[in-house]
Structures are given as structure tokens and as C-alpha cells.
Amino acid sequence: MTVDLTVPDVHLHIGGETRTSGSGGVHHHVYPATGEIQGLVPLAGPDDVDAAVRAADAAYPAWRAWRPSERARVLRRLGELMERDADEIARLSVLDNGMTAGMSQPLVGIMAHWTAYYAGWADKVEGRVTSFPANQRELAYSMPEPYGVVGIILTWNGPVVSVGMKLIPALAAGNTVVMKPSELTPYATEHVMRLVREAGIPDGVVNLVLGGPETGDALVRHPLVQKVSFTGGPSTARKILATCAEFLKPAVLELGGKSANIVFPDADLDMAVAVNAFSVLGTLAGQGCAIPSRMLVHSDIYDAVVERVVAMVDGMRCGDPFDPATVISPVVTRQAQDRILAMIERAQADGAKLLAGGRAPSHLPDGFFVEPTVLGDVDPASELGQVEVFGPVLSLIRFESEEQAIEIANSTEYGLASYVYTKDIDRIQRLVTALHAGGVYINGASPVVGCELAFGGVGISGYGREGGEEGLFEFLRTKAVGIA
């Protein structure tokens, strides 16, 4: 199998300029599957961020003045270009963070789908006419309007999905954007920026600066940035919120989860196990925000579920992300690999039973791989039962009753998603109400893929919504107008 491992030159995109260097220095990008340096990534310093924000601010009046139908037209064109170049964007996504080729293709499809969806919203933003009861001669109406410059910080585990969820609705609403991908994942978004220009979006409307925490901080605290949209972890989000508080600046935060999948005895066990195991272990090597990493299993079927899970994991192969037979991709960095393996060791010390995996595969010593790992009889109150792993680790937890399952599912500080497998419609209705999560997904239903449905969390999983009408209105604020 011949694989193209070439990577594009990476730039900072500021106004109409593509800069080959930044004042923040250079990052050596490492391919997670081999541990080898692939290329150099220019990092934006505060001066670069300032230039990008000012370019977005300068472009805002003209972009806002575009007819909404014209914004819709160029966004539709952008979606078509994403579909045209889907194979190349998918290839670059693999080189970005080591995700499997089988995973990268659908993620690019999701980005294009979200782009087409929000292009359709661009010319459908409407206010509301009312009247003041005290004076019927007055005309009063509300007018949704864009914020201006929006700062967008993309997640490294799925930057192309974040483009669809964040960049496109912000543009459809009439904002201009400064977008910061992680320095760990520069390649796919580099190609997206080329398509932004080809689609006919004016210079300065979308700007891109690469970098780590320092770059993000400079973007968040810039006084011309009117709103921030961030996907990442709670610890970084707290720092972002502290900075936003200095300026009373609003933010949208999607911060990961410790999602539970509750499996009852009347469930289709083959489907429940297959979907849960692949979602946790085969989706970006467990580096997904809404994956059901805690599988809560009724004691009557616990042994049967363990047997099925272990048999399925036995066929999951770690290897070359471009090989169609590979299911388990590497994790993003050596540091992530070490952190995950240490967490597996501590879980066993806490009493969890290792049922499968638990090591770095010996035949792949240079890449950042972790074997697909299953731990049984996990204590819901333990570290593994409470803390997001962000790696290919599935926890099995017993429960005896519906009430206990709800208590365990709600016992973490996270609240992004919950999953349920049962054929009892009355139970489904009770759980939908009782589960503390931004979304509840029944019998194989999945979040994120459907751009029509709002997605987001509660608790330390964040706040605000992406997707649907709610996702568009995150990038609009309402102005009241009265005319006497």
C-alpha cells in the first residue's frame, strides 16, 4: 500500500496575507503513528494575533453589509469545495493527529454537511415586531445582529468538525472570525483556508493563527474580540473564562465528558456492545468528547456483556492509520500515551479488573499507541469512574436498579451526553428527564453528526450550544428598536 505522507507548507492567514513565519516561534509537528517530525509550524505571537484581529475588524463592516443571500451563496460554494477536496482534507486529517483514514473521511463529510446547513440559515435570520402597550402609536421590533469579531479556538481531536460547528455559523450570522487551530493539528485547516479564499469569501473575514496557550490567551483577551467559542478541557476553559470576565466577554464552551451508557436486560446486547465498544475504543482512540466511556450494565447481563466486549476488542487492531484494517489509531502525543497508561495502572490499584489491553503495543514502539483497554468492576467513585481519560479505555460498572443507574450516571461533574439501551418506552421517558446531560441518546442514536440538533453540555462539560438554530443564535445578539 502506497501512502502519500507529504504535508503542505503551513501559514498564518492574516487579512489577504499568508505568512510563513510568526513571532511566536516554530513548532515541530510530530506524526503520532511514527513519532517522527513531519514539518515545521509557524506560531503566532501577540503581534500576529493583534494583526489578525484588526484585519477581521476592518473586514467586518463590509461583510455585515453583504446581502444575506450572498453570504449564503459563498458558504454553499465553500461546502461544495469541501466535498470536492474531501479525500485530500481527510488525508491531511490523518497526518494531523493520527486518526484512522476510516474515521477521517466521515468527519470531513460532517464538516461539509454542517457548512451546507448553516449556509441555508444565512438568509433566514429574522427579528420580531411588537408594540408598546403604553403607547400603541409606537413601533417596536427586535433585530438580531452579529457580534463583530469572534475568536474561535478549535479542538485538536477533530478540527474539521469544529470548523463546521463554529466557523460556519459565525460567518452565516455576519461575523468575522479569527480562528486558532492547535499547533498539533495544522494541516487540514491550512487546506480549508485555501478553500475559503477560492469560495469568494473576502480577505480578512476569516483569519487563522496557529499556536498554543499563549496564542489563545492573546486572542481571548484582545479588546476587539467580542465573543469566544472554545472546545477543549475544563482547566483551559477556566483560564479563558477568567480572561473573559475581565472584559465581561461572552463565551461558548464545549468541554468534554464522562458519558454513561446504561444497558438494561431488555436491550439488544449485540448492538449495545458493538456501538459502545467502537465508540469508545475505535473513535479517535477514545479521544472524543461525547463517547460513552462508562458502560453501566445491569448485573443480570453483566457477564454476557463482558464476554461480548472482550471478544470484540480482541479483533481491534492497532496500526498504520492509513491501513483499512486498522481500528485503533495512536493518541496525539507521547505525553498523552504516558498519562493514559499511568491512569490504567492506578485504576487496577483502585480495584478495577483488567479484562483486555492495558499496555502500549510492543510491535509499535515508536508511535503513541495504547492497546484497546477494558476494565471491569470499576468503582463509580474512583478516578477512572470520575475523570475523563481521553484514550481507548472502556470502564464497565455494575448496577442493580434503574434508580442506582441514574445515580451513578449523574455522579460526575460532567454532563455532555448520556446513552440508554432499553426497549421500555416508559423507562426511556423517565431517563430522558432524570439524566443530567446536555443530550440523551437512545438505542444507538448519536450526537454531533446531526447538525440540525443542538449539541452541548451542562456542569463542567460547558455551556452554550452548537448545531441547529441554537448554534446560529450563539453568534447573534438581539437589539431592541422603538420608533415613536
Query: Which residues does the annotation mark as catalytic?
Result: 254, 289
Q: What distance in Å separates the CA atoms of residue 217 and residue 401, rounded to the nearest whole number? A: 46
What grid cell was written down for 190? 491550512
DSSP strand pairing (149-153 vs 176-180): parallel
Q: What distance in Å separates the CA atoms of residue 247 and residue 226, rounded to the nearest whole number? A: 9
DSSP annotation of 5 reads -
Q: If 0-12 CB within 10 Å is exposed, 13-18 middle and 19+ buried, where does residue 208 land?
A: buried
Tell which residue, 420, 465, 367, has the closest CA to residue 100: 367
With beta carbons less than 8 A apart as the criterion, state whether 285 and 321 touch: no
Beta-sheet strand order (sheet of 206-208) = 17-19, 12-14, 206-208, 176-180, 149-153, 225-231, 251-254, 462-463
CA angle 440, 93, 74 (to 5 degrees): 80
Name the phi and psi angles at 328, rounded to 5: -105, 115
Q: What is the phi-psi region of residue 172: left when phi exceeds 0, alpha when psi lies from -120 to 50, beta otherwise?
A: alpha
Decide: helix, strand or coil at residue 212.
coil
Q: What distance in Å separates the CA atoms of residue 455 and residue 467, rounded to the nearest whole number? A: 6
Cα-based distances in Å from 48 to 159, 222, 243, 411 = 21, 12, 19, 43
Name the phi and psi angles at 79, rounded to 5: -60, -40
Q: If 0-12 CB within 10 Å is exposed, 13-18 middle and 19+ buried, where does residue 256 land?
A: buried
What grid cell was written down for 350? 483502585
Query: What secondary structure, in 3-state letters, does 365-404 show?
Result: CCCCCCCCEEEECCCCCCHHHHCCCCCCEEEEEEECCHHH
